């Protein structure tokens, strides 16, 4: 048997290529959209991708299943569970509880595991030449290492009222099914630490059923459903706005993108008036000089996540960044379906640039008590409650894309977060939207605490 986990650090998302080397057949489970990764792995290992499967309708990334099927001719296996509202709207082979997908000498038995979503399935693998016993389970967003998939995303991101409670009950029953599996089975989940699909995902890439029974908080409630539900729904991270778009695009027919597109380098004179300029350079470079109205979302592992929070899907995007970063940025954005890139500005020489006012902790301490100043903490609610600078008001940066904070645009507004990355997103977004006196405390809470300054909770 051939096995490889493909892990995308930018979205903390795991997919899998599993193959029968005797029959030279392989299945890909929950593929990302830039499918060349899987084609290269299959070719290097003398395998043909003959099957593609998904564990559920994903909310946090745009699946590459259909692209992979178009490129390889593989059969596409998707859940037909969950009822009429949770059916995929394009051709596929529907599977339900107990169905079996044969891949060479391997079999994958379908286990319906609703809760995170109504149609969620897990795939239980048997490597028949080795043993008749199941050896792995691919759980998608059902069971993670140390956590389980949150059932409130449908309500938070997609507006399905009442789905949190229903999902919690379904998840509770699915966990009982999971606990009946043999302890030795390896657990390979769809996400790792950093994903917003749960609140305490572990950084270890895999686990076993037995280990999760002992250490996973969700397995410890016995018959106490109300206690489980209360813990499950408390302190979940904010659901990014783009999740609703992913739910839609992963369910309906849509244009396919078989190859990673190559975008042209353009000048500022070519940028249309309705375009959003996204500067992906480091926050320090951005602060030293940037195009007026640009939003700074750095090209790091969080680019896709914060782009999904802050950027619209219905407007053209122009990216500022180095020539060498063009493919990296394109891949990260196409993974969440942001395909409307019109070009890259790779040279800012000759352009009229503006600066961001960056201040240090001593200046924050001096200014935050002034009557015309507002210290704005743009971290998430949990971070703010656990400890913040006295006088700081809270407004989560992700909310700004739907509603700007109700502050006087002419007031002195000092922006801070945890380490400075979200502060530069917020600062640039507010400057783009007419706030004229923005000061960026780029050092933010790490710097504040590092200098021994007081924090309240």
* pLDDT, tens only, 301-346: 999 999 999 999 999 999 999 999 999 999 999 999 999 999 999 9
pLDDT at residue 143 tops 80: yes
What would the mean pLDDT of 363-369 be, rounded to a whole number?
97
What would the mean pLDDT of 409-437 be, rounded to a whole number?
96
DSSP state of 240: P
Rounded to whole angstroms, the Cα distance separating 213 from 219 reads 6
State how far Cα 12 lies from the chain centre. Answer: 7
Residues contacting residue 330 through CB under 8 Å, at least 6 positions apart: 260, 261, 262, 263, 341
Q: Where are the domains of the chain?
A: 2-249, 268-354, 357-450
pLDDT at residue 270 tops 80: yes
How confident is the model at residue 238, as a pLDDT?
87
Residues contacting residue 169 through CB under 8 Å, at least 6 positions apart: 225, 229
Angle at 68 between CA 66 and CA 72, to 5 degrees: 120
Sign of CA dihedral 319, 322, 326, 327: negative
Distances (CA, A) of 266 to 49, 313, 425: 38, 21, 23
Residue 137 near residue 209 (C-beta atoms within 8 A): yes
Q: What is the CATH number of domain 268-354?
A: 3.40.250.10
The yes-or-no answer to whether 268-354 and 357-450 have a common fold is yes
How confident is the model at residue 159, as a pLDDT?
64
Beta-strand relationship, 373-377 and 48-53: unpaired
For residue 426 the two structure tokens come to 């917020």
Say how many C-beta atoms besides its own lie within 10 A of residue 161's C-beta: 7
HSE-up of residue 367 (Cα within 13 Å, Cβ side): 21
Distances (CA, A) of 33 to 8, 76, 338: 11, 15, 11
Residues contacting residue 324 through CB under 8 Å, at least 6 positions apart: none
Residue 355 near residue 289 (C-beta atoms within 8 A): yes
Predicted confidence band of residue 32 (pLDDT cuts 50, 70, 90)? very high
Residues in a beta bridge with 110 = 123
Residue 56 has phi, psi (to 5 degrees) of -175, 175
Contacts 24+ apart (CB under 8 A), 359-365: 359/414, 359/439, 359/440, 359/441, 360/441, 360/443, 360/447, 361/441, 361/443, 361/447, 361/448, 361/451, 361/453, 363/439, 363/441, 364/389, 364/414, 364/416, 364/441, 364/448, 365/453
Rounded to whole angstroms, the Cα distance separating 74 from 52 reads 6
Rg (C-alpha) for the chain, rounded Å, is 24
Using the structure block, give the residue that is written with the tokens 């043909």: 48
How confident is the model at residue 160, as a pLDDT?
67
State how far Cα 109 lies from the chain centre. Answer: 27
One CATH from 3.40.50.720, 3.65.10.10, 3.60.15.10, 3.40.50.150 for 2-249: 3.60.15.10
What would the mean pLDDT of 25-39 be, rounded to a whole number?
98
| Average pLDDT of every residue of the chain | 95
Residue pLDDT, tens place only, 383-403: 999 999 999 999 999 999 999
pLDDT at residue 157 tops 70: no
Residue 151 near residue 116 (C-beta atoms within 8 A): yes
Residues contacting residue 307 through CB under 8 Å, at least 6 positions apart: 242, 278, 297, 332, 333, 336, 338
Q: What is the CATH number of domain 357-450?
A: 3.40.250.10
pLDDT at residue 265 tops 70: yes
């Amino acid at each position: 048997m051939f096995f490889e986990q493909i892990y995308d650090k930018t979205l903390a998302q795991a997919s899998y290529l599993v193959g029968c080397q005797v029959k030279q057949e392989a299945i890909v489970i929950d593929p990302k959209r830039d499918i060349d990764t899987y084609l290269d792995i299959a070719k290097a290992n003398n395998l043909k991708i003959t099957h593609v499967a998904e564990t559920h309708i994903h909310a946090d990334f745009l699946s590459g299943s259909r692209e992979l099927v178009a490129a390889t001719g593989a059969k596409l296996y998707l859940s037909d569970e969950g009822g009429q509202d949770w059916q995929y709207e394009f051709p596929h082979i529907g599977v339900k509880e107990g169905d079996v997908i044969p891949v060479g000498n391997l079999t994958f038995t379908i286990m319906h595991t609703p809760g995170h979503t109504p149609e969620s399935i897990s795939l239980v693998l048997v490597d028949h030449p080795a043993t008749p016993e199941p050896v792995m389970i691919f759980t998608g967003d059902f069971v993670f290492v140390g956590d389980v998939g949150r059932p409130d995303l449908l309500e938070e991101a997609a507006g399905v009222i009442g789905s949190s409670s229903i999902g919690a009950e379904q998840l509770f029953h699915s966990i009982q099914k999971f606990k009946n599996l043999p302890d030795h089975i390896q657990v390979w989940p769809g996400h790792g630490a950093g994903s917003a699909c749960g609140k305490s995902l572990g950084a270890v890439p895999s686990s076993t059923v037995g280990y999760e029974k002992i250490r996973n908080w969700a397995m410890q409630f016995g018959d106490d459903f109300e206690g489980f539900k209360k813990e499950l729904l408390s302190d979940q991270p904010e659901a990014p706005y783009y999740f609703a778009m992913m739910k839609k695009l992963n369910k309906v027919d849509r244009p396919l993108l078989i190859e990673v597109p190559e975008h042209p380098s353009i000048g500022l004179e070519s940028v249309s008036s309705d375009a959003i300029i996204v500067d992906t350079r480091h926050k320090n470079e951005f602060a030293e000089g940037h195009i007026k109205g640009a939003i700074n979302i750095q090209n790091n592992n969080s680019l896709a996540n914060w782009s999904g929070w802050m950027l619209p899907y219905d407007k053209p995007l122009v990216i500022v960044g180095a020539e060498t970063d063009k493919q990296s940025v394109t891949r990260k954005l196409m993974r969440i379906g942001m395909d409307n890139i019109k070009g890259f500005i790779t040279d800012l020489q000759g352009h009229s640039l503006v600066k961001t006012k960056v201040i240090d902790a001593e200046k924050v301490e001096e200014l935050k008590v002034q009557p015309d100043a507002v210290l704005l903490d743009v971290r998430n609610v949990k971070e703010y409650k656990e400890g913040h600078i006295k006088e700081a008001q809270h407004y989560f940066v992700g909310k700004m894309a739907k509603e700007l904070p109700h502050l006087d645009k002419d007031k002195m507004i000092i922006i801070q977060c945890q380490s400075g990355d979200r502060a530069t997103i917020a600062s640039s977004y507010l400057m783009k939207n007419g706030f004229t006196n923005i000061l960026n405390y780029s050092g933010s809470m790490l710097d504040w605490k590092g200098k021994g300054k007081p924090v309240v909770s």
